[in-house]
Amino acid sequence: MIFVFLPEAVVPPIPWLFRKPEILMSILINEQTKVLVQGITGKEGAKVALQMKNYGTKVLAGVTPGKGGQEIYGVPVYNSVKEAMENHSGINTSFVSVPAFAALGAVSEAIESGIELINILTEHVPIQDTAKMIALAKGQGERVKGKVQIVGPSSIGIISSGIGKVGSIGGEDPRSVFRKGNIGVISKSGGMASEVSWILTKAGMGQSTVVGIGGDILEGTTFADLLMDFEKDPQTEAVVIFGEIGGTYEEDAAELIRGKRKGESLPASKAGGKFTKPVVAFVSGLFAEQLPSGTKLGHAGAIVYGDKGSYKSKINALKEAGVIIAKTPDEIPELLKKVTIQSFPVVILEGG
């Protein structure tokens, strides 16, 4: 098979592996996504509300206690989530942009009101507050026999190209970076969620859904969680992960993949299913091997104590899962062309 590369402006999609399905699917958000913005009267909340509207996302209402009755870019503002939902049926998603001290209260209100997907932009949320949010979401999901999913804190957002976005991902002009396709992208880093997508787009490979999970020590949605979501998505044929030192989310993802490859039983926390699609991942932080234990780098979660959460730990775990290690992010498209569902290779990119 011969691949012909044209100038960037006219690069076509790769037809044989990343074909466009007749009906576009996605994970987390779709054409039925209807968004409530908590903190809409703040600078960031208002800006993102407008970005989402301009991209075609249905933004129905906003909430800021004590500021009900206003309008922000045509979006009505209410004093509570309950009041907003009484006036706008179908709200199923909340974007949260409030001060860190108010995040737990805002998320709790969204969960108690029955909202199914909550994307938290807010940074510096205390870890104990994040733990409480996750516990509340799990409890609510069990009560309603459904799923309440938190993405964040510190999340850049979620985008399904051509369908909609939640959060600030892609900024004011996502169309210049993202395109429709069959590659799922998961990243701890918000900036690298866009960078990886741009690398794919330039090579003619579009994306199904791109998710910035955030870089805190504790996050509402992990790599393993999203791998299982992508497994169920018929549009997604391969997944790209951007990881970094700190935490064990990369090791957990490796465990999920290794369980599939070696036939091991999976922990109940791994969503109880098999993952069968090719994965390309980037783990940054090789240089941190030379730094003292406990050094914090960038994100709140980028802290390494001993071997736990280290670059070496992640690479070793991924190698044990049958990982192929490449050298640069620019190799991602070429590596994706070589993988097939049948051979099931997993490619991890080594970063510095």
Res 320: pLDDT: 79
Res 254: pLDDT: 85
Whether the CB-CB separation of 126 and 100 falls below 8 Å is answered with: yes
Helix 127-144 / helix 100-112 crossing angle, nearest 10 deg: 0
Whether the CB-CB separation of 145 and 122 falls below 8 Å is answered with: no
Question: 143-157, 220-234, 327-341: which has the minimum mean pLDDT?
Answer: 327-341
- Rounded Cα distance between 230 and 224, Å, is 10
Radius of gyration of the CA atoms of the chain, in A = 20
pTM of the model: 0.84
User: What's the chain's average pLDDT?
Assistant: 83
Of residues 241 and 222, more confidently modeled: 222
Summarised one tens digit per residue, pLDDT across range 171-199 is: 999 999 999 999 999 999 999 999 999 99
What is the DSSP secondary structure assignment for residue 222, as one 8-state letter? -
Strands 157-160 and 164-167: antiparallel
The set of residues, in sequence order, having a beta carbon less than 8 Å from that of 122 and lying 6+ positions away, is 96, 97, 98, 99, 100, 103, 152, 153, 154
pLDDT confidence of 282, banded at 50, 70, 90? confident
Res 319: pLDDT: 73
- What is the separation of C-alpha 323 from the centre of its chain, rounded to a whole number of angstroms? 22
- Rounded Cα distance between 300 and 123, Å, is 9
**Both structure tokens of 259:** 């369980």
- Rounded Cα distance between 326 and 263, Å, is 26
What is the DSSP secondary structure assignment for residue 247, as one 8-state letter? S
Burial of 217 (0-12, 13-18, 19+ CB in 10 A): middle
- Rounded Cα distance between 160 and 93, Å, is 14
Summarised one tens digit per residue, pLDDT across range 42-65 is: 999 999 999 999 999 999 999 999
Please give the domain boundaries of the chain with CATH numbers for all domains. 34-151 (3.40.50.720), 157-350 (3.40.50.261)
Strands 75-78 and 71-72: antiparallel
Res 308: pLDDT: 67
The set of residues, in sequence order, having a beta carbon less than 8 Å from that of 70 and lying 6+ positions away, is 41, 76, 77
What is the DSSP secondary structure assignment for residue 188, as one 8-state letter? S
Res 219: pLDDT: 95
pLDDT confidence of 131, banded at 50, 70, 90? very high
Burial of 304 (0-12, 13-18, 19+ CB in 10 A): buried
Residue 112 pLDDT greater than 90, yes or no: yes
Give the count of beta carbons closer than 10 Å to the beta carbon of residue 83. 15
Summarised one tens digit per residue, pLDDT across range 313-348 is: 887 887 777 666 667 788 988 888 887 543 444 444
Burial of 349 (0-12, 13-18, 19+ CB in 10 A): buried
Active site residues: 299
Q: CA 29, 178, 327 angle in degrees (round to 5)? A: 110
The whole-number average pLDDT for the span 91-113 is 98
Res 15: pLDDT: 46
Res 101: pLDDT: 98
Residue 26 pLDDT greater than 90, yes or no: no
Selection from 232, 220, 49 nearest residue 119 by Cα:
220
Give the count of beta carbons closer than 10 Å to the beta carbon of residue 57. 24
Res 20: pLDDT: 45
Res 16: pLDDT: 37
The whole-number average pLDDT for the span 97-105 is 98
Give the count of beta carbons closer than 10 Å to the beta carbon of residue 189. 22
